[in-house]
A = this chain, B = another copy of it.
Amino acid sequence: MQQPDVTLETIRGARERIAGRIRRTPVLESQTLNLLAEARLYFKCENFQEVGAFKARGATNAVFALSAAQLSRGVVTHSSGNHGAAVARAASLRGIPAYIVMPENSSPAKLQAVRGHGGQVLLCAPTLAAREAMAARVVAETGAAFVHPYDDPYVIAGQGTIALELLEEQPDLDWLLCPVGGGGLASGIAVAAKALRPSIRIVAVEPAGADDARRSFVSGVLSRCEQPMTIADGLRGALSPRTFELIRRHVDDVVTVSESGIIAAMRALWQQLKIVVEASSAVPYAAVLERRLDVRGARVGIVLTGGNVDLDTLPWFRAADR
């Protein structure tokens, strides 16, 4: 696959490419949360997206950007979460096979999500090295095209379409907050939002227990967390050189939040917005709740990234059990 830059134009191209194949998600507001924050908060609800997460955007853009020749042997990715289901779904829309490498300790729900979209699951040991090795072997053996979860300009451009939709509805946002794990989402929405509205402040938020993006951003040197420890399982990944560079150029700040802040934020979103969001989704709102940012009086866009939750192990229950 070619590796173009990520620009407002490639993000607009992504939007056209995925139109009708993903959902335009609603933006919700809560008077109670606004009063508490002394701000106007606009929540972009990607928990209502296909496969229950924003990952459907990037995966669909990447799979549909490939030519028929590139696609003839199918696609492959490795994922322990939503990206695998998103690639499987996009491949099934294009009528090609999808090989999804997943750790053997994946939850039954996640395996089911991939298989439900017609993906062929290949189990491996639960390490990044094992995942990458097996994905490389599948590429070699099948000729399938590899779609990285975030280090891919088409994937990043697809995630950036969130900002196009949100700024269409709320053009005069002062802030835009999103979580950061591998950095695909943060990169894409920062490129789009800064191009459309240069005065907007983009803040990427991550758990203090997985603060590689914060440390990289502050030091200017790409670093990793050896042992990320957080309930926000979607945010344990590390930036790539590509997403790090995009974040340095387009993101205004990276801040961290505590685990208890994430749980409190998740619970508040459920209670007040009446929606199911996963822990990773609650991370940017946790930055408001913990007053890591002074957003008083401002108009704040917040990306809620997904809603795939194991309803049997809600974190406030586990906390209460201890």
Contacts and interface: CB of A to CB of B under 8 A. Distances in A.
A314 B271 CA distance: 13
A274 B316 contact: no
Nearest to A50: B31
B307 A316 contact: no
Contacts of A312: 316-317, 320
Contacts of A48: 28, 274
A119 to B, nearest CB: 16
A46 to B, nearest CB: 10
Contact of A276 (B28, B52, B270, B317): B270
A267 interface: yes
Contact of A26 (B26, B52, B320): B26
Contact of A311 (B26, B47, B271, B277): B271
A274 B275 contact: yes
Interface string A265-292: 0010011001111000000000000000
A318 to B, nearest CB: 11
Contacts of A317: 312, 317
Please tell me the size bucket of the interface on A.
20 to 34
Given A267-B311, A311-B267, A52 B316 contact: no
Interface string A301-322: 0000001000110101100100
A28 B277 CA distance: 16
B47 A274 contact: yes
Contacts of A32: 116
A316 B271 CA distance: 18
A52 B311 contact: no
Nearest to A306: B274
A110 B10 CA distance: 49
Nearest to A35: B116
Nearest to A310: B271
Which has the most chain B C-beta neighbours within 10 Å: A26, A116, A307? A307
Contacts of A267: 311
Contact of A275 (B116, B276, B316): B276
A32 B271 CA distance: 25
Closest 5 CB pairs of A and B: A274-B307, A274-B276, A47-B274, A270-B276, A275-B275
Given A276-B276, A312-B320, 17 more contacts: A26-B26, A28-B48, A32-B116, A48-B274, A52-B274, A267-B311, A270-B276, A270-B311, A271-B276, A271-B311, A274-B275, A274-B276, A274-B277, A274-B307, A311-B316, A312-B317, A314-B314
